[in-house]
Amino acid sequence: MSGLGGLGGLDRPEAPTSPGAWDERSGEWLVAETDVRGNGADAPPTAGQEPTATRTNGPRPAPTRRTGADPVKALIHRHRDLCERAVDPLEIAAGLEAHGLTDRTAARFLHRDVFSLAEEMYARVARDGETPSSLPPLTTPRARADWILLTLLPGALCAAAVTALHLTHGRARLIAAAAGALAVTLALRAALARGPLATPHAARSAATRTCWLFAYALLGDGLLQAAAIGGPDALPAGTADGPWPFTTAPVLALALSCAPAAWCAHLLAVRARRKLSASRALEDFATSVKPLLLGTFALYLCALTALLTLTATVLDEPTAYPQTLTLGALLLLARLLTTHGFTHAPGLVLTATVTAEATALAALLAARLPGCAWLATPVQSLIDTWGPAAIPTIACGAGALTLLLHATRTLTRASAHAPADGPC
């Protein structure tokens, strides 16, 4: 029926011996195919190619068809995209088969099977003048409304909470402070859950340590000051003056800086992705991304400084630049590193910072025990020399510096900026 009964017929080791068809059915096919394709294959100005241009030098098999001196050439022309894009003959073979070519069809081109036909096609397609493929650059993350709004949320809630603190008194002020702290924490969590500051890796959360650092920024300096002079005698009253003052301006500035931080991270991601597409060697990428990283970092610090000046002016509090800037730098770097998959170093550094601050406080308080007065000496001398802000500044500054050095090594690696979506 088909002329190829059984399995042995599939592998035809020999080419057809006569130029005709091998049975009457394929004879019809031959004629039909010739009629159909004769128009295209015969006409010389096929897409402006000269008929002899792509002739190979080796001995060509004698043409078997009445029309078209070179049937393979017509085939190459028809599958030009496939041939030009193929990286090896097997890819052409797979593509030809997907277009319905079989070994029987390949026999018409005087080939034993599709593989050898594909090899000829692969060899005959000129690849020398191949232009570097104009692939679309890597997709860059888009700024989206959801995370932009979410990053504004902590600042807004914190401002509301600070206003509430100023407007209320007594027990209501305590309730307002607690509610404000809770709301800001939840908003921060939501802001970090998506957008450029979100981490795709299921890392151990640094939330507790971050909360401690915020709490220290709010209460720590006052407590330290009070502890140094023998206090504190009462719970904080929630005001900027008093024996244990609240320093709300730095916290408000930090909460407001969530938005610039997200923008900086976004900028870094977009620019790094562009540099990734443009660079040819890993070294090139590292050298080009280092200034970008430092620039982004400086941009964030500028934004934080401006915000801090603003909040301190509005709230009429002293501007605590050193401790706030170092804390902001530390938090941003830790978050950036975590976002890019480096969770180990930020975790360590945050723990160290928290421990340093807690130790300073504990040492001051423990010095009141009989015989332990010497414990307070280093902290006390620091406070005497530079004031209570020295403790958080040194702790956060050392941490931030460590993370900055770490980031200039790790965040300049190409693998840190690899597209997160899987290869398949």
Residue among 44 and 132 whose Cβ is closer to another protein: 132
* Site residues (CB under 8 A) for another protein, limited to 302-361: none
Q: Which of 25, 66, 80, 169 binds another protein (CB under 8 A)?
A: 25
Closest CA to 380 of 367, 397, 370, 369: 367
Please, what's the b/e burial string for 307-333 (b: 16 or more CB within 10 A of its CB; e: otherwise)?
bbeebbeebebebbbbbbbbbbbbbbb
Per DSSP, 141 falls in state P
* Site residues (CB under 8 A) for another protein, limited to 108-127: 113, 115, 119
Closest separation between CB of residue 141 and another protein, Å? 15
Which H, E and C letters describe 15-34, residue by residue? CCCCCCCCCHHHHHHHHHHH
Specify the residue for token string 């915000």: 307
Q: Which of 12, 68, 91, 398 binds another protein (CB under 8 A)?
A: 91
Closest CA to 158 of 248, 246, 236: 248
For residue 10, state whether it binds another protein (rule: CB under 8 A).
Answer: yes
Number of residues that bind another protein (CB under 8 A): 56
Residue among 189 and 290 whose Cβ is closer to another protein: 290
Q: Which of 32, 172, 182, 302 binds another protein (CB under 8 A)?
A: 32
| Terminal C-alpha separation, the chain | 43
Residue among 17 and 133 whose Cβ is closer to another protein: 133
Site string for another protein, 236-275 (x = CB under 8 A): ----------------------------------------
Site string for another protein, 132-171 (x = CB under 8 A): xx-x--x---------------------------------
Closest separation between CB of residue 364 and another protein, Å? 37
Specify the residue for token string 């401790």: 323
Closest CA to 69 of 51, 48, 83, 45: 51
Residue among 289 and 301 whose Cβ is closer to another protein: 289
Per DSSP, 54 falls in state T
